[in-house]
Amino acid sequence: MAAPNPDTWWRSAAIYQVYVRSFADGDGNGTGDLAGVRARLPYLAELGVDALWFNPWYLSPMADGGYDVADYRAIDPAFGTLAEAEKLISEARELGIRTIVDIVPNHVSDQHVWFRAALAAGPGSPERELFHFRPGRGENGELPPNNWPSQFSGNTWTRVPDGEWYLHLFTPEQPDLNWAHPAVRQEHEDLLRFWFERGAAGVRIDSAALVVKDPDLPDAADDDTTPYVDRDELHDVYRSWRAVADEFDGVLIGELWVPDPDRFARYLRPDELHTAFNFDFLARSWDAAELRASIDTTLAYHAPVGAPATWVLCNHDVTRTVTRYGRADDTGFDFAKKRFGTPTDLDLGTRRARAAALLSLALPGAVYVYQGEELGLPEADIPLDRIEDPMHFRSGGTDPGRDGCRVPLPWSADAPYAGFGAQTEPWLPQPEGWAAYAADRQAADPDSMLSLYRAALEIRRSGPGFGDGPLTWLPSEPGVLSFTRTDGPADGLICVVNLAEAPAGLPGHTSVLLTSGPLDDEGRLPRDTAAWLRA
Ligand code: GLC
């Protein structure tokens, strides 16, 4: 196969998401770090991924796991140094792996110099104009300036001692920036340059649809998000980001929670973002009609703007895949609202997650793998007194929060803390039995999730019919997804996923490349199983 065009690697890439805090602990203090990632680069190369997306690794008080950035030009000392990040970027690149950094334009940490200066400078000052400061309502300004709901439940306004209020769509430690201010725009363009100059190949844009607000900050009716979500002014912002990215052949990836696929696709026009996470697919139930509808809609809406689709099963914000697919309700964005004690069938979930892996890796475009997904890690129950995620606290303790998908990885079954590297209790506890998922154990087992991911990524990388390109549905029995991935008949890839109860016959093929589980005695594909075939 011809080497992928270096300019368009992102159209077909398999991108591995690294949550540094929980990936590998190089210095043994209980928190993952850049030294840990550098030591595990050979593992990532062997896994066969094309790029790494790092959740924010910058200086941060960690009020929201690093999504509260105090200084974008410094690495948090718990993770390492800027020099080390530069080394990591170039070492990965030598192994053929590109780096994507995470930029959080909607807000900064309340410890950021801008916000500290704004607090100190007082009402009416130019420093306050970088944020959304307003007087309160009510006779004595004791009521918040508007009624916007928080993305994390609870209030979106906090009052400071001089009486003014400031807006924060997330926690009070994450004040929202005022994107109508030219200095805010300039600073972010400088930041993009800063990281592209250090070798980043791409930027993931956090909460990309929330950044610009209606300048009047009006009250919003119950289900009306128009004053703060998906505002038309955003396109102008991302067009100027694109101009900066183009200077470096850099790639912009939006975290866009925009449910209307038509509105979503507008961000992917040729002079805006390159790609965005496709959350529709992740929010669908394990159901053939649902998944097919999502695939068709996704491809139909990407086509006119010429952008590749992306496929995501899981990330650091949502329930881990094997757990989600093992639950009765695996549907809708509501699964993100986690509940304590939800009954889960992990065997079922794991079977489905294996099939879903082959499905997502065969679909047209780029695909994301969240660390630990390749190990089939389940969502963990975190003891109440160890939960750190602000989502839990802001829900009044009803939502377990997102820590259950952020538990330190198990690397070696026989080492302390399953080989995470910690010499002391890790920042989040690993549940009982975690060592059974250890990478070293799975590497030795041809039937493990890790072996499945390695084999699939290897075939995807070296064989025809994967990544960017057309998809054609094949006739199939109800409940079965079956498609081919090439224009011509020669060498085509066929992917079949059986979501029906009865075993399914395989379409005509010359060889079976890989299956997510064994075929039955008659060579049929059992329920909740996927196969890759050569046509
Ligand atoms: C995004 C991140 C999430 C974070 C939030 C606020 O949704 O993925 O982890 O809490 O933005 O920055």
Question: pLDDT tens digits, residue range 421-441?
Answer: 999 999 999 999 999 999 999
Give phi and psi for 45, each to the nearest 5. Answer: -65, -40
Q: Is the CB of 336 under 6 A from ligand 1?
A: no
Q: How many CB atoms lie within 10 A of CB 251?
A: 25
**Predicted pLDDT at 106:** 98
Strands 251-254 and 275-276: parallel
Ligand 1 center to residue 414 CA distance, Å?
34
CA distance 491 to 485: 10
Strands of the sheet with 98-103, listed across from one edge: 275-276, 251-254, 202-205, 98-103, 51-54, 14-18, 366-370, 310-311
Amino acid at 264: F
- Residue 14 CA, chain-centre distance (Å), reads 13
| pTM as predicted | 0.97
Q: Is the CB of 67 under 6 A from ligand 1?
A: yes
CA distance 41 to 200: 16
Q: For ligand 1, atom 4, which residue shows the shortest CA distance?
A: 67
Q: For ligand 1, atom 7, which residue shows the shortest CA distance?
A: 207
Amino acid at 256: L
List of residues 6+ apart from 334 with CB closer than 8 A: none
Region(s) of the chain under CATH 3.90.400.10:
113-167
**Predicted pLDDT at 2:** 44
Amino acid at 99: T
The candidate with the shortest Cα–Cα distance to 162, out of 134, 190, 188, is 134
Strands 472-473 and 480-484: antiparallel
Whether 410 and 442 have beta carbons less than 8 Å apart is answered as: no
Q: Domain 113-167 - what CATH class?
A: alpha beta
CA distance 490 to 57: 45
CA distance 476 to 119: 63
Region(s) of the chain under CATH 3.20.20.80:
6-104+278-454
Q: Is the CB of 196 under 6 A from ligand 1?
A: no
Ligand 1 center to residue 68 CA distance, Å?
9
Q: Is the CB of 206 under 6 A from ligand 1?
A: yes
Tokens of 347: 């065997």
- Which one-letter DSSP state was computed for residue 107? B
**Predicted pLDDT at 76:** 98
Q: For ligand 1, atom 3, which residue shows the shortest CA distance?
A: 317
Q: 3-state SS of 262-287?
A: HHHHHCCCCCCCCEECCHHHHCCCCC
- Which one-letter DSSP state was computed for residue 503? -
CA distance 123 to 141: 14
Q: For ligand 1, atom 2, which residue shows the shortest CA distance?
A: 206
To test the pocket of ligand 1, the residue of 206, 253, 279 to mutate (highest count of ligand atoms within 8 Å of its CB) is: 206
Among all residues, which ones are annotated catalytic?
206, 247
CA distance 67 to 282: 22
- Pick the atom of ligand 1 nearest to 68's CA: 12
Residue with tokens 């250090």: 198
**Predicted pLDDT at 367:** 98
Say which CATH superfamily domain 470-534 falls into.
Golgi alpha-mannosidase II (2.60.40.1180)
pLDDT in tens, the chain (535 residues): 345 566 799 999 999 999 999 999 999 999 999 999 999 999 999 999 999 999 999 999 999 999 999 999 999 999 999 999 999 999 999 999 999 999 999 999 999 999 999 999 999 999 999 999 999 999 999 999 999 999 888 899 999 999 999 999 999 999 999 999 999 999 999 999 999 999 999 999 999 999 999 999 999 998 899 999 999 999 999 999 999 999 999 999 999 989 899 999 999 999 999 999 999 999 999 999 999 999 999 999 999 999 999 999 999 999 999 999 999 888 756 666 678 889 999 999 999 999 999 999 999 999 999 999 999 999 999 999 999 999 999 999 999 999 999 999 999 999 999 999 999 999 999 999 999 999 999 999 999 999 999 999 999 999 889 999 999 999 999 999 999 998 555 678 999 999 999 999 999 999 999 999 999 999 999 999 999 999 8
- Pick the atom of ligand 1 nearest to 104's CA: 12
CATH 3.40.50.880 fits 6-104+278-454, yes or no: no
List of residues 6+ apart from 482 with CB closer than 8 A: 473, 474, 475, 476, 494, 495, 496, 497, 507
**Predicted pLDDT at 535:** 87
Q: Is the CB of 104 under 6 A from ligand 1?
A: yes
- Pick the atom of ligand 1 nearest to 257's CA: 7
Residue with tokens 């974008």: 72
Ligand 1 center to residue 206 CA distance, Å?
6
Q: Is the CB of 317 under 6 A from ligand 1?
A: yes
**Predicted pLDDT at 335:** 62
Region(s) of the chain under CATH 2.60.40.1180:
470-534
